[in-house]
């Protein structure tokens, strides 16, 4: 099976880019990735985007961005999987290269959130829910997270404050990330006083939505050394789905798609959770961080929050998460977020993470969730000459 490596990465700041259009944002990230890869030889473009049709009244982003980036004529399409759109776009690029029909692919995640105001963004976000049976009742993504969180608190006898460690860790790490939206620390007493969004979820449980774009360039691993001084291997890649509606799950506290895609990606890479050095997870809400740690095998059900309480998610902890701030403090740029995670993981494995560096990071996991977990995309990244402890199983990539 063809191995795939990342040879270029680029990103813009996550913030309110009122001076920058969707197409310009995408281009800035692409330009940075092309510079990083030292190539302009792109065969196909995969655009990850969640809401441009609703928020910018702009669909057909494949042609738009290929044209605007000076790549008119190239194969280019948009991939949509709610918040997981960017990671799903990377997944499509991996499949394309493994098919042998595409040599080098560009993945760009882009989201333009802030051309609209609060309730219009909320209305657009609700399109990622089951429109007929969730959104029509006034449910929102935050409401679904709150339904999970209330049940979790009830089942395990916990309080909101038990989740503070996730947001505090994210803010601490973002302070050193010049691309992050929130670069200030979050004191525990402020977490406790968060404004309610959908009780018990507060503003400090919830990732802020903002504009941003991130891009990666991927190619065959054999060619990668010629096109980058520090290629990063995509050692595992998997996408899985669960019921779209939360109410249809057998257990609303088990992210089945997250578990399924993580197991597949790790099996393909020949590793287990014990061999993962850091984990960029989908902390759109603190409850999703806890449930992701549980689904991916880093904690038993009901105990994911303890990793935050015990300081095990910090840069020097057992399983560092949100190392550049995560969704919570770097900011959540919708369909770009899954590509930001990959860019950040690549910087960690290249040893270029500066103050955010996880010492000795050679194997990283990135997982992006769509909605309340209806889609989960997991990638395992390694340094290019990493030898896995177990034989990689590539039969069902």
On the CB side of 177, how many CA atoms lie within 13 Å of its CA? 34
Nearest CB to another protein, comparing residues 60 and 247: 247
| Part in contact with another protein (CB under 8 A); list of ranges 5-13, 170-178, 242-250, 357-365 | 242-250
Helix (H) or strand (E) segment spanning residue 153: helix 141-156
Question: Is position 396 an interface residue for another protein (rule: CB under 8 A)?
Answer: no
Question: Is position 139 an interface residue for another protein (rule: CB under 8 A)?
Answer: yes
Nearest CB to another protein, comparing residues 108 and 145: 145
User: ∠ CA 91-16-44 to the nearest 5 degrees?
Assistant: 25
Question: Is position 146 an interface residue for another protein (rule: CB under 8 A)?
Answer: yes
Question: Is position 284 an interface residue for another protein (rule: CB under 8 A)?
Answer: no
Q: How many helices (H) and strands (E) does the chain have?
A: 14, 11
- Sequence-distant (6+) residues with CB within 8 A of 256 are 240, 242, 249, 250, 295, 373
| Part in contact with another protein (CB under 8 A); list of ranges 10-18, 66-74, 92-100, 134-142 | 134-142
Q: Residue 27 has which token pair?
A: 């281009």
Nearest CB to another protein, comparing residues 73 and 138: 138
* DSSP state letters, 97-134: HHHTS-SEEEEEEEE--TTS-HHHHHHHHGGGS-TTTT
Helix (H) or strand (E) segment spanning residue 94: helix 85-99
Short-list 25, 7, 1, CA closest to 15: 25
Cα 204 to Cα 194: distance, rounded to the nearest angstrom: 6
β partners of residue 4: 220, 234
| Part in contact with another protein (CB under 8 A); list of ranges 57-65, 128-136, 284-292, 314-322 | 128-136
Question: Is position 241 an interface residue for another protein (rule: CB under 8 A)?
Answer: no
Question: Is position 125 an interface residue for another protein (rule: CB under 8 A)?
Answer: yes
Choose which of 40, 41, 101, 120 interacts with another protein (CB under 8 A).
120
Question: Is position 126 an interface residue for another protein (rule: CB under 8 A)?
Answer: yes
Nearest CB to another protein, comparing residues 226 and 248: 248
Question: Is position 255 an interface residue for another protein (rule: CB under 8 A)?
Answer: no
Minimum distance from CB of 229 to another protein (Å)? 46
Nearest CB to another protein, comparing residues 146 and 216: 146
Cα 32 to Cα 11: distance, rounded to the nearest angstrom: 7
Question: Is position 150 an interface residue for another protein (rule: CB under 8 A)?
Answer: yes
Minimum distance from CB of 292 to another protein (Å)? 19
Helix axes 85-99, 337-349, angle to 10 degrees: 70
Cα 125 to Cα 13: distance, rounded to the nearest angstrom: 22
Taking CB under 8 A as the criterion, which residues in 160-219 touch another protein?
195-201
Nearest CB to another protein, comparing residues 135 and 343: 135
Choose which of 57, 154, 360, 395 interacts with another protein (CB under 8 A).
154
Nearest CB to another protein, comparing residues 117 and 385: 117
Short-list 153, 123, 113, 170, CA closest to 315: 170
Interacting residue ranges for another protein, rule: CB under 8 A: 118-120, 122-123, 125-126, 130, 132-140, 142-143, 146-148, 150-151, 154, 195-201, 243, 245-248, 252
């Amino acid at each position: 099976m063809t191995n795939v490596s990342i040879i270029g990465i680029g990103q813009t700041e996550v913030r309110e880019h009122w001076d920058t259009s969707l197409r310009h944002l995408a281009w800035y990230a692409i330009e940075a990735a092309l510079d990083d890869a030292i190539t302009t030889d792109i065969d196909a473009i995969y655009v990850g985007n969640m809401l441009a049709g609703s928020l910018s009244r702009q669909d057909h982003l494949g042609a738009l961005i290929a044209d605007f980036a000076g790549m008119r004529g190239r194969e280019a399409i948009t991939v949509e999987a709610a918040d997981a759109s960017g990671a799903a776009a990377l997944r499509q690029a991996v499949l394309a290269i493994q098919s042998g029909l595409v040599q080098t692919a560009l993945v760009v995640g882009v989201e333009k959130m802030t051309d609209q105001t609060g309730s219009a963004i909320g209305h657009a976000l609700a399109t990622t829910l089951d429109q007929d049976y969730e959104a029509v009742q006034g449910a929102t993504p935050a409401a679904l997270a709150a339904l999970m969180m209330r049940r979790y608190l009830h089942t395990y006898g916990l309080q909101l404050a038990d989740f503070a460690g996730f947001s505090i860790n994210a803010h601490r790490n973002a302070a050193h990330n010049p691309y992050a939206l929130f670069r200030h620390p979050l004191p525990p007493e402020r977490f406790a006083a968060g404004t309610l969004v959908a009780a018990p979820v507060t503003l400090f449980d919830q990732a802020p939505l903002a504009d941003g774009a991130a891009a990666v360039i991927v190619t065959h691993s054999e060619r990668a050394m010629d096109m980058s001084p520090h290629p990063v291997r995509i050692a595992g890649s998997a996408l899985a789905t669960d019921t779209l509606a939360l109410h249809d799950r057998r257990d609303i506290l088990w992210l089945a798609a997250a578990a399924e895609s993580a197991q597949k990606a790790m099996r393909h890479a020949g590793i287990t959770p014990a061999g993962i050095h850091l984990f960029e997870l989908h902390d759109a809400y603190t409850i999703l961080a806890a449930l992701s740690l549980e689904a991916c095998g880093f904690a038993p059900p009901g105990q994911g929050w303890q990793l935050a309480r015990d300081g095990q998610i910090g840069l020097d902890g057992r399983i560092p998460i949100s190392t550049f701030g995560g969704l919570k403090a770097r900011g959540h740029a919708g369909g770009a977020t899954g590509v930001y995670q990959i860019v950040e993981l690549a910087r960690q494995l290249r040893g270029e993470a500066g103050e955010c560096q996880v010492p000795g990071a050679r194997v990283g996991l990135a997982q992006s969730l769509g909605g309340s977990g209806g889609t989960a995309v997991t990638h395992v990244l390694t340094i290019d000459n990493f030898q896995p402890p177990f034989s990689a199983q590539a039969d069902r990539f």
